[in-house]
Structure 1
């Protein structure tokens, strides 16, 4: 892989990993993953959801300590802290803009809470059948298809649903029938 210098400069904005580690060490039920769970722009933690504060409180704690970062929980046991300008969705949008791709014709696939940001917006989203409960809140979004099949079969199901290898079927927003019926009477 080749690093993109523009992207690195973009996400390095306000990235202070040591300050984040100091602030996060004050919270119960959260501990650092080993070095192989860390990277230059990701601080990985394990989280005990019975003991740790809720994600809303973690974000508030970071803000109160003047730390600017994104907080991502996956599988209800992993917590990632990444730069405020970094996420799967932000990377997707950055490179689509850089390379001139139309975001509404990009297919993305997710299975856990760490994919939520990438699935939101105007992409064509597929959530595979073996997804974690964190993604259930996206079920009402018309550009996100929830596949019944697991893993690669769920991806294939999503490709077929959108006719992604053909003309690409872009779904239309659904009109709430109860509202429209109320107006008609």
Structure 2
């Protein structure tokens, strides 16, 4: 992709940010909170099936939960022709963008909630020149996120221990065998998922979550209806043993759709059984 193409795409996304999304369910009865990279992306035909499902007015609304920044997430959704999300959980659950008065805006209430105890300057100081840890580019450093490339999972464990020893309360998220993010202790994809669900007055049982990697772990562990797509990373394989997690046979968006339908079908079956007992 050359600079002109990228700049034109960026300008298009920026113009969309202040406009109201045209697709999707504005008053959903269920929410699917899903990672983007390699969970919804990866297979064009799978995306088409996933999009057809959400367009059938079945009450499901999409919320994306990604490690990417808001602008980059918007670009990816546009490039893959995914349905327009009702809300955007970005930067590993350290930011939420949600529609208010027809515009997508940063959720200040969530920002205030996770700001408690956050000390980014102290983190920068403590982790400077840390062995095996390299800061990512400046654009990846957010108000509530410090991002690095780590040489191994052992480095991630050492970072967590160093922060603890220094009395710094923070979450360390390691994913894709090399990416390390430091977040406020109250942040993360799980916390953001609960915040968005509360915004939509969504019952816990009506929230579904799909993911494939380490930065999805807290979200999948905290969701009653969790989905591991078939192409999930080895770093989250242990989640397959949890009763709330459905492991899809299919990959990418097809796997997310498979898991969503499987959980939904199981819910309806349990409801039918309860109704029969009541009779």
Q: Secondary structure at the match of 1:139?
A: helix
Q: TM-score, normalised by structure 1?
A: 0.82
The correspondence for 2:123, drawn from 20, 25, 29, is 20
Q: State the partner residue of 2:185.
A: 84
Offset of residue 54 of structure 1: 4.1
Q: State the partner residue of 2:135.
A: 32
Offset of residue 168 of structure 1: 4.7
**Number of matched residues?**
167
Q: TM-score, normalised by structure 2?
A: 0.56
Within the alignment, does 1:108 sit opposite 2:229 as a pair? Answer: no
Task: Provide the C-alpha distance between the structure 1 equivalents of 2:177 and 2:168, rounded to a whole number of angstroms.
Answer: 23
Which segments of 5 or more consecutive residues in structure 2 lack a partner in the other structure? 1-103, 271-279
Query: How large is the Cα RMSD of the aligned pairs?
Result: 2.0
Query: CA deviation digits over 1:23-55, x for unaligned, max 9?
Result: 112521001000122211111100111xx7443
Offset of residue 96 of structure 1: 2.5
Q: Mapping of 1:127-166 within 5 angstroms?
A: 127-163=228-264
Task: Provide the C-alpha distance between the structure 2 equivalents of 1:169 and 1:75, rounded to a whole number of angstroms.
Answer: 36
Q: State the partner residue of 1:125.
A: 226
Which segments of 5 or more consecutive residues in structure 1 lack a partner in the other structure? 171-185
The correspondence for 1:44, drawn from 123, 143, 147, is 147
Offset of residue 123 of structure 1: 2.6
After TM superposition, the runs of 4+ consecutive aligned structure 1 residues lying more than 6 A away are none
User: 111-120 or 60-69: which moved more?
Assistant: 60-69
Which structure carries more relative contact order (alpha carbon 8 Å, separation 6+)? 2
User: 141-150 or 52-61: which moved more?
Assistant: 52-61
